[in-house]
Amino acid sequence: MKGGKEHSKGIGRLSIIGVGLIGGSLAKALKKADFVGEVIGFGRSEANLRRALDLGVIDRWTLDLNEAVAGADVIMLATPVAAADQLLPRISASLRDNTIVTDAGSVKGSVIDAAVSAFGGRISHFVPGHPIAGGENSGVGASCVDLFHQQKVILTPLPSTGTWALECVREMWETTGASVSEMDPDSHDRLLALTSHLPHALAFCLVNMLADQSNADECYELAASGFYDITRIASSDPVMWRDIFLGNQDAVLSRLAEYRESIGNLIRLIESGDADGLLAEFRKSNISRSLIQSRRST
């Protein structure tokens, strides 16, 4: 691979490991802002990488990981969590002294453990991150230049993370229009288990419950808009969500236990015919939902 072209600001050469919805959208946004000189794509699917090149998302691609990261200023891991855990040791062998590595995984604990093991004394180069953006569709064809605009990105730096690396990654995300904040990794994983991982688990369960009915075809035909809306995210990438649930196992199980208690309370209210109790629960939900909507619109 030839060296990246000269670039007066931002990132000279960005290597994206996993050119899908997140990686592709990041590349599009940085290219639009003229914040990156060259984008190199790596992945397992030659067809997907060729499409990324045709769409102008990347400038070049390779199926060789060492070639992909050689000479990179920033490496973005935008793969399923389990894949990132496997790739980090391979990436560490090809790092330059000033190369920054970051990721976009929805689970931080397991990725950080893998990075500490892989990078050793060079862990200061690693900036764990998580863009709170996405959709039920995956692949580079679903990438969008404004995916991160006015969305949140959480960085979970370690005490050993270099300030220079953290500021570079922060600036990169802010360039996409995202609002960047910091959080400790454990708090991130516990919070996301509630706000992201649990909703996906429920959506998967609801759709499978419908599919397992003896009259499933009739159920498909009569599924109302409410069922469709609440289960939209069940179309998300199964491999990615398998890895998230296993990577954040303790926190996900804890949130599922809380949900089981909540469902148990609802069952008791219905069984006892407690109209006032049901009304109080539903009104509480209405108020909380309104608060969520108002915060998202500001």
Count helices and strands in the chain by DSSP H and E runs: 13, 9
Q: Could you give the angle at the alpha carbon of 167 between the alpha carbons of 22 and 7, nearest 5°?
A: 75
The pLDDT of residue 2 is 31
* pLDDT tens digit sequence for 16-70: 999 999 999 999 999 999 999 999 999 988 999 999 999 999 999 999 999 999 9
DSSP three-state, residue 25: helix
DSSP H or E stretch at residue 87: helix 81-92
Q: Pick out the chain residues at pLDDT < 70.
A: 1-9, 136-137, 297-298
CA distance 57 to 141: 10
Residues 6+ apart with CB under 8 A from 194: 255, 258
- Chain segment 203-233, per-residue pLDDT in tens: 999 999 999 999 988 888 888 889 999 999 9
Q: What is the pLDDT of residue 298?
A: 63
What Rg value do the Cα atoms of the chain yield, rounded? 21
CA dist 113 and 285 (Å) reads 37
Q: Distance between CA 251 and CA 11 in Å, rounded?
A: 35
- AA letter at 71: G
Helix (H, G, I), strand (E, B) or coil at 94: coil
DSSP codes of every residue in 196-238: IIHHHHHHHHHHHHHHTSTTHHHHHHH--HHHHHHTGGGGS-H
Helix, strand, or coil (residue 56): coil
Alpha-carbon separation of residue 232 from 36, 137, 144, 206, 238 (angstroms): 34, 10, 19, 11, 13
Task: Return the pLDDT at 160.
Answer: 95
User: What residue spans define the domains of the chain?
Assistant: 11-183, 188-296
The Cα–Cα gap between 96 and 141 comes to 31
Joined tokens for residue 191: 């919070």
| Pairing verdict, β 129-132 and 152-155 | antiparallel
Predicted TM-score (pTM) of the model is: 0.87
* Residue count of the chain: 298
Q: What residues pair up with 62 in beta bridges, in sequence order?
A: 42
Task: Give ∠ CA 58-60-61 in degrees, rounded to 5.
Answer: 95
Residue in 125, 39, 36 with CA at minimum distance from that of residue 78: 39
Structure tokens at 252: 């996900």
Paired strand residues for 153: 131, 180
Fold of 11-183: Rossmann fold (3.40.50)
| Residue 133: predicted pLDDT | 86
Superfamily of domain 188-296: 6-phosphogluconate dehydrogenase C-terminal like domain (1.10.3660.10)
* Residue 100 dihedral angles phi and psi, to the nearest 5°: -100, 135
Note whether 156 and 112 are within 8 A (CB): yes
- Is residue 78 within 8 Å of residue 18, measured between CB atoms? yes
Residue 136 is predicted with a pLDDT of: 66
* Angle subtended by helix axes 109-119 and 238-247, to nearest 10: 80
What is the per-residue pLDDT for 191? 97
